[in-house]
């Protein structure tokens, strides 16, 4: 034993002493042996013209340059790929969706194990569970469940998020925020078990009965931290018809309607108290996390407008109208108001993406695929760079393929507002004012979600008990270095302002 331990550091030193290009070629050879005959189609390195497209997810960046990207075809390929990475001194990094704001699913000099083609869906005969590939995107999952229901808008479904191109494993590793969560809980609350490949290359089952600590950790404990999940068994539930509300305020129009607004250099309304955005935000934040738990809602605050979207799970339209009336929102300014009832689940998911109200079932069936029937690499092409297009197949080939998801240079930060540290109206006024300091070309906005979840659950997600709301700040960045530095500086200054308040 002493001899073997003595040789381990010697082996590591010898390995790392190899030139990086030699190590990368050795790694490529190892991966090719795992992949077999079609390895050339599924391995991408910096020498390939499709490298830029293959390595970049939603966020356009040039900091994270992986050594090799391996596109997995079968779940049993994951374990030997991890062994390849360890043998050649390279960090293995799993990727299911590619939505991480800092591109942590494609780290510098890493072996990216892309599992987006592990996207099978098998629903049990009783409709109680679905066994799902760990790399499936949420839109593809919803498409498959719709087909398993025989194309019906009624029946079983699963509480996933509203962004159709997010990968299931990344979604669950972050907790599983969704627009029904105040009624039915987080996504991690609807997981039965998982198949996980560990760092030692072993595949194990994680469930309440087998490896319960691992089962707890992979649900909300961080992406790829404890293993690579290659398969999930999800608990399905009957989804009732629901009602949706969408309200939209134009800040300038509301200010001008009150007769005493003036414009600044960017065209924003500046009369004190007349810009609807801050007043709407204050009313919504005081009410939405405390509203009937059937209603989960979000607020989108832009430089010229604010938008309120709510999903009332299992509610009739009249019930939703009564709940929203308690907020006072309809009487603030001059909102454009859309209520719709009797919404099937996919129709409800389309609100805000493909329309302002739930379409009838037959219309939803026609338009939903344009958002939900995603392919494995669903992002818009990058100008000047060839597309990686190996085996791109939608979940339902007979339906239209989902529109490509936009890529952008993205700067973002997020905050959980805790129940013990709820900001007052002056803080919200300041946040709205700060938004107006940014260049409109970056389309900056705040995305604010009501939490205060009463549904119990046991997972690694740390914010369930204390989260009152979740605020995300987003702006598209710039290729201009000075403009980008100014944007980053704004985020740092806003962090310094808000973090001490909300914790």
Report how far residue 473's alpha carbon sits from residue 319's, in angstroms, rounded to the nearest whole number.
32
Report how far residue 494's alpha carbon sits from residue 475's, in angstroms, rounded to the nearest whole number.
13
317 and 272 within one domain: yes
| Mean predicted lDDT score pLDDT of the chain | 91
250 and 228 within one domain: no
What's the domain range around 105? 2-114
Asked whether residue 32 is assigned to any structural domain, the reply reads yes
Distances (CA, A) of 320 to 5, 107, 297, 405: 66, 45, 12, 31
Asked whether residue 395 is assigned to any structural domain, the reply reads no
315 and 412 within one domain: yes
Q: What is the DSSP letter of 374?
A: -
> Tens of pLDDT along 400-447?
999 999 999 989 999 999 999 999 999 999 999 999 999 999 999 999
28 and 146 within one domain: no
* Predicted local confidence at residue 254, as pLDDT: 58
* Predicted local confidence at residue 246, as pLDDT: 98
* Predicted local confidence at residue 15, as pLDDT: 54
End-to-end CA distance of the chain: 49
> Is 236 within 8 Å of 156 (Cβ atoms)?
yes
437 and 491 within one domain: yes
> Tens of pLDDT along 445-494?
999 999 999 888 999 999 999 999 999 999 999 889 999 999 999 999 99
Asked whether residue 350 is assigned to any structural domain, the reply reads no
* Predicted local confidence at residue 357, as pLDDT: 95
Query: Strand, helix or coil at 312?
Result: strand
* Predicted local confidence at residue 252, as pLDDT: 64
Asked whether residue 54 is assigned to any structural domain, the reply reads yes
User: Of 114, 145, 167, which marks where a domain is finished?
Assistant: 114
Total domains in the fold of the chain? 3
Asked whether residue 449 is assigned to any structural domain, the reply reads yes
168 and 135 within one domain: yes
> Is 246 within 8 Å of 312 (Cβ atoms)?
no
146 and 23 within one domain: no
129 and 205 within one domain: yes
277 and 421 within one domain: yes
User: Of 194, 217, 239, which marks where a domain is finished?
Assistant: 239
259 and 127 within one domain: no
CATH number at residue 168: 3.30.465.10
> Tens of pLDDT along 208-257?
999 999 999 999 998 888 999 999 999 999 999 999 999 999 976 555 55
Q: What is the DSSP letter of 52?
A: H
What global pTM score does this model have?
0.91
Asked whether residue 179 is assigned to any structural domain, the reply reads yes
DSSP string, 258-278: TT---B-TT--B-STTT-HHH
Low-confidence ranges of the chain (pLDDT < 50): 1-14, 258-274
Asked whether residue 360 is assigned to any structural domain, the reply reads no
User: Of 114, 131, 152, which marks where a domain is finished?
Assistant: 114
220 and 276 within one domain: no
280 and 188 within one domain: no
* Predicted local confidence at residue 2, as pLDDT: 37
* Predicted local confidence at residue 12, as pLDDT: 47
Asked whether residue 31 is assigned to any structural domain, the reply reads yes
* Predicted local confidence at residue 456, as pLDDT: 87
């Amino acid at each position: 034993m002493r001899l073997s331990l003595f040789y381990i550091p010697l082996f590591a030193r010898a390995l790392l002493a190899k030139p990086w290009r030699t190590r990368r070629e050795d790694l490529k050879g190892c991966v090719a042996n795992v992949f077999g005959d079609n390895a050339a189609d599924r391995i991408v390195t910096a020498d390939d013209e499709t490298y830029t497209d293959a390595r970049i997810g939603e966020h356009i960046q040039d900091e994270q340059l992986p050594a090799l990207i391996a596109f997995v075809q079968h779940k049993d390929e994951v374990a030997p790929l991890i062994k390849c990475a360890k043998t050649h001194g390279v960090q293995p990094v799993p990727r299911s969706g590619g939505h991480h704001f800092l591109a942590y699913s494609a780290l510098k000099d890493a072996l990216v194990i892309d599992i987006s083609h592990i996207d099978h869906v098998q629903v049990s005969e009783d409709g109680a569970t679905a066994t799902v590939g760990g790399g499936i995107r949420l839109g593809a999952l919803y498409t498959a469940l719709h087909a398993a229901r025989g194309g019906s808008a009624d029946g079983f479904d699963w509480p996933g998020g509203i962004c159709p191109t997010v990968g299931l494993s990344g979604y669950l590793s972050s907790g599983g925020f969704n627009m029904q969560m105040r009624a039915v809980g987080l996504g991690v609350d609807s997981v039965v078990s998982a198949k996980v490949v560990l760092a030692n290359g072993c595949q194990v089952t994680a469930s309440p009965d087998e490896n319960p600590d691992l089962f707890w950790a992979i649900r909300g404990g961080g992406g790829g931290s404890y293993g690579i999940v290659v398969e999930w068994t999800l608990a399905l539930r009957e989804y009732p018809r629901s009602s949706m509300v969408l309200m939209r305020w134009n800040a300038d129009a509301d200010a001008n309607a009150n007769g005493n607004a003036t414009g600044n250099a960017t065209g924003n309304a500046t009369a004190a108290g007349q810009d609807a955005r801050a007043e709407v935000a204050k009313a919504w934040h005081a009410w939405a996390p405390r509203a009937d738990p059937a209603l989960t809602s979000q607020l989108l605050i832009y430089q010229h407008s604010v938008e309120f979207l709510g999903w009332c799970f299992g509610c009739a339209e009249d019930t939703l109208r009564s709940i929203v009336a308690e907020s006072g929102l309809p009487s603030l300014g001059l909102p454009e108001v859309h209520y719709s009832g009797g919404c099937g689940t996919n129709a409800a998911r389309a609100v805000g993406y493909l329309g302002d109200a739930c379409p009838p079932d037959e219309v939803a069936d026609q338009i939903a695929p344009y958002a939900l029937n995603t392919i494995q690499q669903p992002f818009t092409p990058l100008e000047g760079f060839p597309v990686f297009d190996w085996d791109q197949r939608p979940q339902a080939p007979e339906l239209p393929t989902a529109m490509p998801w936009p890529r952008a240079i993205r700067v973002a930060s997020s905050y959980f507002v805790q129940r013990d540290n709820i900001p007052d109206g002056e803080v919200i006024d300041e946040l709205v004012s700060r938004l107006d300091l940014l260049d409109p070309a970056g389309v900056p906005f705040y995305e604010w979600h009501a939490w205060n979840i009463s549904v119990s659950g046991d997972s690694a997600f740390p914010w369930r008990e204390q989260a009152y709301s979740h605020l995300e700040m987003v702006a598209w960045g710039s290729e201009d270095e000075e403009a980008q530095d100014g944007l980053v500086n704004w985020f740092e200054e806003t962090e310094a302002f808000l973090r001490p308040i909300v914790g």
